[in-house]
Structure 1
Amino acid sequence: MKFFDSTKFKRSIHYYWYISTILLYLSDMKRYVQYQSFVIEEFEANTWKHALHKHNHYELIYIKQGDGLHFIQNKSTLYCRGSLFLLGPEDDHYFDIRNTTRFIYVKFTDLHLYRGVQADHLYLQKLEYLIKSRETHLSVFLLREEGQLLIQNVFNTFSLIQHQVTVYEEVIRLQLFSIAVILQRNMPELRVTANRSQDMQALFCYIHKHIYCPAKLQAVEIAHHFNRTPDYIGPYFKRHVGITLRDYIRQYRNQLIKKRIESGSYRLKEIAAEFGLVDESHVLKLLRSENEGLV
């Protein structure tokens, strides 16, 4: 005969209450939605007045003055004058301000970066690499003195044109490309560490950087870069990500191609050349294989 276990019952109730509370919290988390191409905001605060939130856009946050803690995905990082953060759409965050802080925010959606781009593809690729590599979203950028000065000058420019964003959209876009070039030096393409999550970030960064060069994405090349064997890289990636390395590369590349097609600024011939594909028919074949319905 089985007797009623009140202790076990209470634990179950507590467990389900905990899970439901977490799910309710996540569903109620505020999401800021932006429809403009770019938004620049400069403001000063003694206390942080925004609830924990996510966005539908990317945010570059520059600390013009002040200090405190920045919490991203429950991970805290000290900030001070000159600190720079990059947040992705799914990064929840808030600031714990210790001394009065002056912020400069540059908010943008990645789709707008592809519209009317006349600059060399290389700059767009650097920015794609930056914003798509999650490692950049979880900590502050550590810059050398010359990098700090360059970033400061860029954000001074943003400050000057913050009320004329529509007029200076192309200037803003080009300044974002400049930031990507400066910050790319901080990306963890190869880290010797026992922390496998950091190893995965380095692997993602490598893929994102070389997505335009198929030869660099062969298992043999990736394994050589990370001082591993080809037989190790594939299973290692699938074990940590849940899909094969080949599928991830294909899906990520198609995502970037879709952005270019949606912008209307790229011809299929240009896309094929940029991504090292044979011709326009190869681009169409890749997209059809995903059954995206875009072409």
Structure 2
Amino acid sequence: MKRYHQYQPLLVSDFEMKEWRHPEHNHNHYELIYIKKGKGTHVINQITQPYKAGGLYLLGPEDKHYFEIQIPTHFIYLKFTDPYRYKHLSGDMRNWQHLEYLIKSRETHISGFSLSREDQQIAARLFEVVAALKADVSYNEQLIWMQLLSIATILQRNMPELMAIPQRSKDMQALFCYLHKNIYHPENLRAPIIAAQFNMTADYIGPYFKRNTGTTLRDYIQDYRKTLITQRLASKQYSLKEIAAEFGLTDESHVKKIISST
């Protein structure tokens, strides 16, 4: 299978096609794909789904895909390699966390994102701005990244598993998404708090999670937190003090204890 390599940290592509010219492929970067106009089929990881104007997809490095075009299609691609590179451009840490959540949860939204009518219009405008900045990506790098963070915020607030509903189902996808969303807030990861979100008892949530995943709820949270912290340290963009503050940890020694755990 074809694999495309991108060496620039950030790229924008804005093009129209009558016929898709690429074979099934994956890549070494993330792709945020917007369908400005057109119609056809998008095949992602051998799952076929229709696409139309306004379609929006987030693909990771190992996702394989291709398009089958029925009506000439205008694509806008926003491609990035290492999102940690832009930590200094992310402003409010919550903006970066929205994108990190999307990256982790994209497999549950492989068919694309369903946006409210208002957010569809906002997303369209943001991608128009992205396309307008493509002539000089290096010069416009910060502006492009800001649009990406804005898009990530819009996508996240339209995720059904994050919307407030009175009776949330005991659904593992929703439970995973809750954990990923709240990994920065340890006060929300206590068993009684999680259980209350899913209409379970504190005594039931642990066995329920282990029965469905093969691992304990505590171990999953610890392993996921450790993964995120390790990625931050590897990027050399974060100090131990910053990481401790972001994840609600006591101090730097707590961070060291987490990364040294087995």
Query: Cα distance, 1:269 vs. partner?
Result: 1.2
Partner in structure 2 of residue 86 of structure 1: 58
Consecutive unaligned residues of structure 1, counting only runs of 5 or more, are 1-28, 291-295
The answer (yes or no) to whether the contact 1:67–1:80 under 8 Å persists in 2 is yes
1:114 deviation in Å?
A: 4.1
**For 1:182-221, what aligned pairs fall within 5 Å after superposition?**
182-189=154-161, 199-221=171-193
How far 1:91 sits from its partner (Å)?
A: 1.8
| Cα shift at 1:160 | 1.1
Any unmatched runs of 5+ in structure 2? none
Q: Quick one: which of 36, 45, 53 aligns to 2:25?
A: 53
Rounded Cα–Cα distance in structure 2 between residues aligned with 1:56 and 1:187: 26
Does the CA contact (< 8 Å) of 1:46 and 1:99 recur in 2? yes
Q: Secondary structure at the match of 1:100?
A: strand
Partner of 1:258: 230
- Residue number in structure 2 paired with 1:30: 2
1:237 aligns with 2:209: yes
Contact 2:12 2:76 in 1 (8 A): yes
Offset of residue 136 of structure 1: 5.0
Secondary structure of the corresponding residue to residue 74 of structure 2: strand
* Aligned position for 1:6: none
| Counterpart residue identity of residue 280, structure 1 | E
Q: Number of aligned residue pairs: give it.
A: 259
TM-score (normalised: structure 1): 0.81
| Amino acid of the structure 2 residue aligned with 1:212 | Y
Deviation, 1:284, is 0.8
Give TM-score scaled by structure 2 length.
Answer: 0.90
SS of the equivalent of 2:204 reads: helix
| Pair 1:134 & 2:93 matched | no
1:178 equivalent in alignment to 2:169: no
The 5-angstrom pairing of residues 136-175 of structure 1 reads: 137-175=109-147
The Cα RMSD (Å) is: 2.1
Partner residue, 2:43: 71
SS at match of 1:212: coil
CA displacement 1:53-72 (0-9 Å, x = unmatched): 22222111001110011122
Work out the CA distance in 2 between the residues paired with 1:143 and 1:247: 34
1:261 positional shift: 2.0
The AA in structure 1 aligned to 2:56 is L
Map of 2:245 onto structure 1: 273
Q: Is the 8 A contact 2:90 2:96 kept in 1?
A: no
Distance change in 2, residues 1:134/1:82 (3 Å): closer
Distance 2:45 2:230 in 1: 29
Distance 1:266 1:42 in 2: 33
Larger Rg: 1
Q: String of CA shifts for 1:135-190, please: whole Å, max 9, x gaps.
A: 55411211122211111111111111213111111112111110111111222326
8 Å CA contact retained: 1:129, 1:209: yes
Q: State percent identity of aligned pairs.
A: 56
Given that 1:117 and 1:265 are in contact with CA atoms closer than 8 Å, whether structure 2 keeps it comes out as no
Q: Tell me the residue number matched to 2:67.
A: 95
